Structure 1
Amino acid sequence: MSSGVEVSGSQRRPGIWSYFSFPGPRRRVSVTLPRNFDPNRDADSFEKPDRHSRRRSTNPDGFMGDHKGSSIMNQGQRLRYIKTGGVIAFILLILYFVAPRDGLSKGPLSSGGNTASGDAKAQCTKSYSKEKPLIQYALMIDAGSQGSRIHVYKFNNCGPSPALENEVFEQTAKKEKGGSGLSSYDGDAEAAAKSLDVLMEVALREVPKEYQGCTPVAVKATAGLRKLGKEKSDNTLAAVRRRLETVYPFPVVSEEKGGVEVMPGEMEGVYAWITVNYLLGKIGGPDKNPTAAVLDLGGGSTQIIFEPTFPDVPRGGLPTKLAEGDHKYTLNFAAREFALYQHSYLGYGIMEARNNLHATLLDSLYQTNKESGSTEYLKQPITNPCIAVGMSREVAVAMPASHPLGATVTVNMTGPATSSPTQCRYWAEKSLHKDDECKLAPCAFRGIYQPPFEGTFAREAVYLLSYFYDRTSELGMPESFSIRELQDLADKVCRGEEGWDVFKPVPKAIEELKGRPEWCLDLNFQFSLLRSGYGMPIDREVRIAKKIAGNELGWCLGASLPLLEANSGWKCKIHQDQ
């Protein structure tokens, strides 16, 4: 006869319930009684009369009436249901945390999928968006006149915008004579295209094979290629595209999106702006943060680009939006639209600025002496307030076309007896041609329209790149300083060695100053460009930078980031199993 009572010493397998603990009333134990049980035998005088009777009391005054037995049974069933549901919920909770988050996906895409593939590693395990792979690569070839260089960028999509994980770059070796850029092959299109093979080998090595078919490549050549003439230039670019498309597994960005092109001058500034603001975290995220202005000073040209803000209603002479024209560049990046002001001033890089100032000074001397017809003054040292005291430099000055002094004049520029930085700034401002006709006001210089800094970009960050950085950081200037402090620095440099004591603790500063008599000129030109040219308030803070977050600043990163977005002019070259 079986009994529901546990028998001492029996070996029963524990049920699943024994592994879990649940709160609530203790489970009732049901006891099966013998059929011949006599309720009157050995009756307990304190026992309730109906305890063992098969016939329940019908006394309506009894506790819970006739429904007590059925109530007890229903309560036991409910407890079992609750426990069963609790166990199921617990198991599902464990599976939720243990199972892969992307368990319902159909497998990784050929571009790497929602998780890392092959040898690739990422800083997280899952892409922020299922619309993008966890890891993306992009290839950008900077085809300069002196050589070509490839940038291999690796990004992850752990967050709402791509994060740069790594950059690898390599440059073509220089030739025995001249540079190794595309233009150095003088129209031999096939040879020029093959010169990039050594760079593409770097890409094949750095990009895992399973990602190569979805890694876009673009080539941006500089104006040096344009010097070959349109026919030779076009043939070279066509040969480059043909070789990249037929020899390598990487998709080439389409012609419509400028995949292989001579990069327009203004785009260099736009891409530099993207690079700086991306690395600062001001673009690419969900927040609409104020962006930074970028002023780049190269050797032959200078660029300015910023996002001006305008009042809702016209006030103080300011309109409500940026005027239309070539200066306006509309950029769509990371689901956000930017109306940027940009301009590239050719001939106003630091090297060209030196020549412009020397030529302006020589032209003034010519105008003073032209009635006499004598040019003997050119044979004597010419006092130039932009040369530091006690220093001199022989300079070959390129004069404006058809100038009476000739195409080039070689003279000895000598610093004044006493420091004269104010007079140096006079010549620097004169070389900016502030008086040129301004067809669309307000203008910066050379008659070029520019929204006023003070009214449309009063508080946002301003970053100075390239020669702005080189000429100031090498003399111990901090990362942030005012335009007035730049003027003070120029004044110290123009004094010559007797005023250079403050620079002695700065490594190599004295050596650099002694080797460049034009350092006084360079700093005064920078001050005049910022203060008089661009109209920045003298107490405006600016920042100099060569790197941000350990990454080099330049246009290549900014040109690569848009390639990670949809509809950027390329498609994967291999089939994706969905």
Structure 2
Amino acid sequence: MKLTGPLLLLVLLAVAGLSRAQVKTSLLDLTNSIGSILPALSRPANHSRIFYAVMFDAGSTGTRIHVYTFINSDSAGLPVLDNEMFHSIKPGLSAYADSPEMAGHTVRMLLKVAKKTVPRLEWKRTPVILRATAGLRLLSPDKAQALLQQVQHVFDESPFLVPDDSVSIMNGTNEGILAWISVNFLTGHLKAQTQTTVGILDLGGGSTQITFLPKLRKTIESVPVADYVARFDIFNSTFELYTHSYLGHGLMAARLATLGALGAEGLEWRVFKSSCLPKKFRDEWSFGDLTYQVSGDPDGYAGYKLCYQEVLKVVKGIIHQPYQLQDSNVFYAFSYYFDRAVDAGLIDGVQGGKLEVRDIKKRAKEVCNKMTKYPPISSFLCMDLTYITCLLKDGFGFKESTVLQLTKKVNNVESSWALGATLDHFHNLKIH
């Protein structure tokens, strides 16, 4: 009898030792695309080499799930990342500070993605981990703990492997280091005796991070305090990074600081004004579990120059400028750096692109100075672009000619700390 089409594929997969569920998946792949057979057949017949991990990123403005599929490499090095399934939900867990059970519901919904992605037979040995960032760091300890306990309960009743310390708040330093590890892993720079690496700039809602591998010793020696330097071990060598996380300097927290609303009281009757907003704009705006009345200044002036003066107060004297920031480092910028560049029409929303700092400054001026006649797609776009310009120039000290690689994904994988955190879980990178 001559075997053709799906029947031949069934026999081939059965010989390869795949389970019925995996055979079903491969047939589905065949139906969707003939080309997708090749990755399925090229995977190792020994399926113990394939493993999975589920990492939750609980950020200030949303909760994201990353389901990674890895193939163990033959060497003692890092595994090969075969695939990532990504999904996100808004708002972040911190929005449920007064109703923590809703935070549990959010995580439970996202776990459905993991159940659909990871084969059922692998559930019991697939770790599920959640790391919360600035959104929970900005909450009171008791409210943050109540949210984490709800997540822990959901994890404990799930069919996945729940490691010790599976649910926690990650410190900002690790956030920067793990994002650096993610991007350098994806760009192929995280190898033994590596000569070149890329730096990272991550702009979240509540905090912002800068991390790079300095080439000049003076960059390390001139840090203001010791916690601007971090080390981790891999391939029997130690990477010594310049890294810092600025809590309260993420994009949403910076909006509050610019408006003078950070830590303010009397929110139910106060209106927070800014020259960075259109003069006739007035609305409610929420961040975390609080709602603010915000508006432009109807009796004053609006525009880039006044806006820059406002955001400069948020940045000046707080953000450290690393020595010799331009020492041949390429920087990848993501999260809100990417999102706002897309909103401003500076880069493609899928491909990303390279921008000079002056490009962001130029568009900030255009948006801010035309707000009255041409309202931007977001009333906060002037403020956000001006803050990003100020953070890069007067904060970190980048030159206007500095080129940044704006990206959302590297090799079809989300640019974030989540992959680095997953690699750290499996390989214990000894971050200190």
Same fold (TM over 0.5): yes
Contact residue 276 and residue 553 of structure 1 kept, 8 A: yes
Change (3 A) 1:133 1:301: same
Quote the offset at 1:347 in angstroms. Answer: 2.6
Is residue 251 from structure 1 mapped to residue 161 from structure 2 by the alignment? yes
User: Which letter maps to 2:170?
Assistant: M
Larger gyration radius, structure 1 or structure 2 = 1
Q: Tell me the SS of whatever aligns to 2:297.
A: strand
How many angstroms apart in 2 are the aligned matches of 1:498 and 1:146? 28
Contact residue 298 and residue 466 of structure 1 kept, 8 A: yes
Q: Tell me the SS of whatever aligns to 2:281.
A: strand
> Deviation string for 1:237-294 (max 9, x for gaps)?
467557645762x432223xxx2212223333333222222221221x3341422222
What's the % identity of the aligned pairs? 30
Change (3 A) 1:415 1:321: same
Deviates more, 1:202-211 or 1:223-232: 223-232
How many angstroms apart in 1 are the aligned matches of 2:429 and 2:340? 41
User: Which letter maps to 2:167?
Assistant: V
Bigger helix share: 2
Change (3 A) 1:296 1:147: closer
> Deviation string for 1:287-318 (max 9, x for gaps)?
4142222222233332222222324xx6xxx6
> Deviation string for 1:200-238 (max 9, x for gaps)?
454344323454443222122345557886567557646
Contact residue 307 and residue 386 of structure 2 kept, 8 A: yes
Contact residue 216 and residue 563 of structure 1 kept, 8 A: no
Is residue 470 from structure 1 mapped to residue 376 from structure 2 by the alignment? no
Contact residue 217 and residue 252 of structure 1 kept, 8 A: yes
How many angstroms apart in 2 are the aligned matches of 1:539 and 1:152? 38
Quote the offset at 1:480 in angstroms. Answer: 1.1
Is residue 555 from structure 1 mapped to residue 408 from structure 2 by the alignment? no
* 1:514 equivalent in structure 2: 376
How many angstroms apart in 1 are the aligned matches of 2:420 and 2:203? 17
User: Which letter maps to 1:413?
Assistant: D
Residue 483 of structure 1: which of 357, 373, 394 is its match? 357
Change (3 A) 1:344 1:223: closer
User: Which letter maps to 2:163?
Assistant: V
Contact residue 220 and residue 242 of structure 2 kept, 8 A: no
User: Which letter maps to 2:335?
Assistant: S
> Deviation string for 1:459-502 (max 9, x for gaps)?
21112212222222333324112222322222333342799xxx
Quote the offset at 1:556 in angstroms. Answer: 2.1
Contact residue 214 and residue 242 of structure 2 kept, 8 A: yes
Long gaps (5+) in structure 2: 1-15, 24-39, 262-269, 287-291, 348-352
Contact residue 301 and residue 347 of structure 1 kept, 8 A: yes
* 2:177 equivalent in structure 1: 270
How many angstroms apart in 2 are the aligned matches of 1:116 and 1:251? 24
Which gives a bigger RCO, structure 1 or 2 (Cα 8 Å, sep 6+)? 2
Quote the offset at 1:154 in angstroms. Answer: 0.4
How many angstroms apart in 1 are the aligned matches of 2:17 and 2:426? 17
Contact residue 326 and residue 398 of structure 2 kept, 8 A: no
Change (3 A) 1:466 1:240: closer
Change (3 A) 1:353 1:327: same
* 2:394 equivalent in structure 1: 532
Contact residue 107 and residue 154 of structure 2 kept, 8 A: no
Q: Tell me the SS of whatever aligns to 1:392.
A: coil
* 2:30 equivalent in structure 1: none
Change (3 A) 1:123 1:253: farther
How many angstroms apart in 1 are the aligned matches of 2:121 and 2:135? 36
Change (3 A) 1:330 1:495: same
Is residue 300 from structure 1 mapped to residue 206 from structure 2 by the alignment? yes
Quote the offset at 1:338 in angstroms. Answer: 2.1
Change (3 A) 1:266 1:166: same
Quote the offset at 1:532 in angstroms. Answer: 0.8
Deviates more, 1:232-241 or 1:214-223: 232-241
Q: Tell me the SS of whatever aligns to 1:252.
A: coil
Contact residue 383 and residue 414 of structure 1 kept, 8 A: no
TM-score (norm 2): 0.70
Contact residue 308 and residue 340 of structure 1 kept, 8 A: yes
Q: Tell me the SS of whatever aligns to 2:164.
A: coil
Contact residue 137 and residue 152 of structure 1 kept, 8 A: yes
* 1:574 equivalent in structure 2: none
Is residue 425 from structure 1 mapped to residue 340 from structure 2 by the alignment? no
Q: Tell me the SS of whatever aligns to 2:211.
A: strand
Bigger strand share: 2
Contact residue 387 and residue 416 of structure 1 kept, 8 A: no
Q: Tell me the SS of whatever aligns to 2:227.
A: coil
User: Which letter maps to 2:197?
Assistant: T
> Deviation string for 1:389-423 (max 9, x for gaps)?
xx63236799xxxxxxxxx8865425988x95344
How many angstroms apart in 2 are the aligned matches of 1:477 and 1:227? 31
Long gaps (5+) in structure 1: 1-114, 361-377, 399-407, 435-444, 500-509, 569-578
Change (3 A) 1:540 1:116: farther
> Deviation string for 1:294-346 (max 9, x for gaps)?
222233332222222324xx6xxx66586762222222345543222222223
Contact residue 333 and residue 562 of structure 1 kept, 8 A: no
The alignment yields a C-alpha RMSD, in angstroms, of 4.4
Contact residue 180 and residue 199 of structure 2 kept, 8 A: yes
Q: Tell me the SS of whatever aligns to 1:523.
A: helix
Contact residue 367 and residue 382 of structure 2 kept, 8 A: yes
Change (3 A) 1:430 1:208: closer
Residue 297 of structure 2: which of 387, 390, 413 is its match? 413
Contact residue 258 and residue 274 of structure 2 kept, 8 A: no
Q: Tell me the SS of whatever aligns to 1:515.
A: coil
Change (3 A) 1:482 1:520: same
Contact residue 296 and residue 302 of structure 1 kept, 8 A: yes
Change (3 A) 1:166 1:395: same
Q: Tell me the SS of whatever aligns to 1:331.
A: strand
Contact residue 61 and residue 205 of structure 2 kept, 8 A: no
Change (3 A) 1:161 1:342: same
* 2:322 equivalent in structure 1: 451
> Deviation string for 1:30-75 (max 9, x for gaps)?
xxxxxxxxxxxxxxxxxxxxxxxxxxxxxxxxxxxxxxxxxxxxxx
Contact residue 334 and residue 565 of structure 1 kept, 8 A: no
How many angstroms apart in 2 are the aligned matches of 1:218 and 1:199? 12
Aligned ranges for residues 45-64 of structure 1 at < 5 Å?
Answer: none
